[in-house]
Structure 1
Amino acid sequence: MSTNTDRHPVIIDTDADIDDLWAIQYLINVPTVDIVAITTVGSGFSTPIYSTSNILSFLGLLNCTDRIPVASGESLSSLSSGYQVASTILTGIDTYLTSPNCLNQSVDIFLQPSPFEAIELIIFILKYSQKPVDILALGPLTNIAAAIIRDRSIVPKIGTLYLSGGQFKSLSAYSSLTPNPSLGVYPYMSKTTDSSENIFLDVLAAQRVDDSGIKNLVAMPSDVQNQLPANLTQIDVMLKKLNIILTPFVYKLITSLAKCGNQSESDIFWWDNSAAQLMVQIQNNVSNGFCTQMEQVKSLYILSADADQLFGQGINDSGQNGAHIKGLSNYKICTETNSDVFLLEFLSKIQSNQLYSCKKSYENRFDIKLQRCLRNHGLG
């Protein structure tokens, strides 16, 4: 697979939540990023039938129809904790683009996903890429873990895996590491306190990815994402300051989540969008980016069936407290942020509408050329 030598090839693996759409719109307009595929996972914050459909519809609304391969992936977690996202939340996410009570957009119902499913496409892209490919994980790690299990030779071809979410809590910060059944036992009908949604929905997949040997692991931890509120007043002030006028669709896209989801504005943060911007900052060695402080940590997630309220918790400790723990993975994490710098970068890019990752024609997409090649050899 040929890639533009001046741009960073990226696979986005997403559960198609609304903040994922913000991240995708941002990255499409970053000149140094080449989105080579978007793969969807149906075990997170969208129902399986909507996850791929909404990404295709969203790309169509951005005038990026058929330019980026979108492949459907796994619908079930590697290991279910029993926790499921509430159906009321899923309905709001699934219908965000089209509901008359939300964005009220008409979409093209004839858009088609890639002829390859997500795990296949991840493997093929990594195997045939002429240089390492970064992966941005915006949902549970189910697809990525499955791809690695199916073909471990792809691991050296992963440049950096960027994770949205994750919990990196020092052992010393836990008041107790003794399982307490009164605080939660399997099956978990709700997420254990402080654990990360994208991890908790498939903890086993996270462990498999962490231990796979990927050379570079980077995370935008959940608690740090909460330093970046999606504040409407701040957005409007920044738009006025920069003299930026967004299209009505784009403005509603980034400002309607609280209203459409019947949530308080104070509950909305930039979440997965911040992981996308962290990736761009690191890829380009930006010294004055929104992430103002990073840290190297060693971490793992608790998977024991007897862990009770500690199940799915993420710990990190490179000191004496963690000396007896094996299987720790090395992560670089963002620990401090500047929300004004974040918003300036985000709004500037989405306003530009350059659509850098939408330049390939349908016929020149990697997956379509590969399908054609397989057919020519009697394999498709």
Structure 2
Amino acid sequence: MYINRQLYLTFSLLLLIGCTSVFAQKQKVWLDADTGNETDDVYAIIRLLAEPSIDVVGLSSAHFNNADLVAFDKWNQYPTKNIKTVAISQQLNEEILRAMGKLSIPHPLGADRQIGRAWGGNEPRPSAATEQLIRTVKTLRQGEKLDVICLGALTNIASAILIDSTILPRVRWFALGAKYNPQTNAWSKNEFNIRNDLNAFDYLLNNQKVDLTLMPIDAALPFRFMRDTIYHKIDDTVLAQRLLKQRWQETNPQDKIRTLWDLALVEAYLLPQNATIQDVSTPPENTKRLIKAYRKLDEKALTDDFWRVIRQLKN
């Protein structure tokens, strides 16, 4: 009886240690970003990479193809002739990872265009990003989930699901895009990220197995930063901090104030206590179901958190 009791106690202790180990695991996060598009992606990426409470397991690049690329000579500071938008995002992702000393994080190249065709369709756009994302999901431990944050067109995440739908129960998807009026419950898809791959957005809305939390741009709009404040607070001797100032100078130097949309989503994800999320119905043209949507942010709390973390960055 004594031996059995000893065996029982040993087994219980091992079980407890195992359970503690599982619960101690950091939340794994994958970030998908159209980094070359404008100013805010760089801020969002650096903030997420600097967060000690999570485990960033991937940073993929997204395209930002849009009609202006064939109508104008420049998109921000980039000449549009022969432009490859996903390559610009990829180059910046690698520059950020290098500055943060985190090049060991997988950073695969994403798709160079939307899923389907201009008139619709759900044909996936395979890429190194979809391959690595699927592979990452399949290496998760039992009971573990991957949080995927998408800051641009939804091409890469929609393609990953279309290629291998078995990953769906293991992933929670967070995205920035569209507009939502809570008074009328009316949606508008006339928004930059969504317009860059409307097919992907509709696919995700129509798939009832997709666990989607969306930040409509209405919710992010008040999350604004002053150019002069950023220039003043940044420590130019710290490379990762200098990239923030440099990105504003290169992309939007004339803007004295900007909404940092992508940073709003990352901060709200990291500090859920400072954001309000509601269940809302999908647009009427899509499969009728509920998705989660951010409705209100505590802008001051999220801004204070950003500066608290950024000013701790060192070379």
For the superposition of Structure 1 and Structure 2, which TM-score range results when normalised by the shorter chain? 0.7 to 0.9
Query: Is the aligned partner of 1:297 residue 2:273?
Result: no
Conserved 8 A contact 2:177-2:215: yes
Query: Is the aligned partner of 1:206 residue 2:219?
Result: no
Superposed counterparts of 1:214-225, under 5 Å: 214=209, 216-225=211-220
Alpha-carbon distance in 1 for matches of 2:217, 2:85: 22
Residue number in structure 2 paired with 1:128: 139
TM-score normalised according to structure 1 size: 0.62
Amino acid at match of 2:106: P
Gaps of 5+ in 2: 1-20, 67-83, 120-126
State the Cα RMSD in Å. 3.2
Alpha-carbon distance in 2 for matches of 1:57, 1:346: 20
Alpha-carbon distance in 2 for matches of 1:67, 1:28: 12
Which of 113, 116, 129 is the matching residue for 1:76?
A: 113
Which of 32, 39, 59 is the matching residue for 1:38?
A: 59
Conserved 8 A contact 1:294-1:333: yes
Partner SS state of residue 219, structure 2: helix
Once the two structures are TM-superposed, the CA of residue 198 in structure 1 deviates from its matched residue by 1.0
Once the two structures are TM-superposed, the CA of residue 268 in structure 1 deviates from its matched residue by 1.9
Alpha-carbon distance in 2 for matches of 1:262, 1:37: 28
Alpha-carbon distance in 2 for matches of 1:249, 1:327: 46
Which of 180, 193, 196 is the matching residue for 2:191?
A: 196
Alpha-carbon distance in 2 for matches of 1:198, 1:328: 22
Amino acid at match of 1:128: T
Partner SS state of residue 119, structure 1: helix
Residue number in structure 2 paired with 1:231: 226
Amino acid at match of 2:46: Q
Once the two structures are TM-superposed, the CA of residue 42 in structure 1 deviates from its matched residue by 2.3
Query: Is the aligned partner of 1:338 residue 2:304?
Result: no
Partner SS state of residue 38, structure 1: strand
Q: Among all aligned residue pairs of Structure 1 and Structure 2, give the percentage whose two residues are the same amino acid.
A: 21
Once structures 1 and 2 are overlaid, which stretch shifts more, 217-226 or 195-204? 217-226
Gaps of 5+ in 1: 83-115, 178-192, 301-321, 356-380
Once structures 1 and 2 are overlaid, which stretch shifts more, 327-336 or 270-279? 327-336
Kindly indicate whether structure 1 or structure 2 has the higher relative contact order, using CA contacts under 8 Å at least 6 residues apart: 1
Distance 1:172 1:334, change over 3 A: closer
> Which one has a larger percent helix, Structure 1 or Structure 2?
2
Superposed counterparts of 1:200-279, under 5 Å: 200-214=195-209, 216-235=211-230, 239=233, 247=237, 249-262=239-252, 264-266=254-256, 268-279=258-269
Query: Is the aligned partner of 1:167 residue 2:179?
Result: yes
Alpha-carbon distance in 1 for matches of 2:189, 2:206: 23
Once the two structures are TM-superposed, the CA of residue 205 in structure 1 deviates from its matched residue by 0.5
Amino acid at match of 2:263: N
Once the two structures are TM-superposed, the CA of residue 137 in structure 1 deviates from its matched residue by 0.5
Distance 1:326 1:26, change over 3 A: closer
Conserved 8 A contact 1:6-1:32: no
Amino acid at match of 2:45: I
Alpha-carbon distance in 2 for matches of 1:199, 1:326: 14
Residue number in structure 2 paired with 1:23: 44
Conserved 8 A contact 2:150-2:175: yes
Alpha-carbon distance in 2 for matches of 1:30, 1:20: 16
Equivalent residue pairs, number: 267
TM-score normalised according to structure 2 size: 0.74
Conserved 8 A contact 1:41-1:143: yes
Conserved 8 A contact 2:226-2:257: no
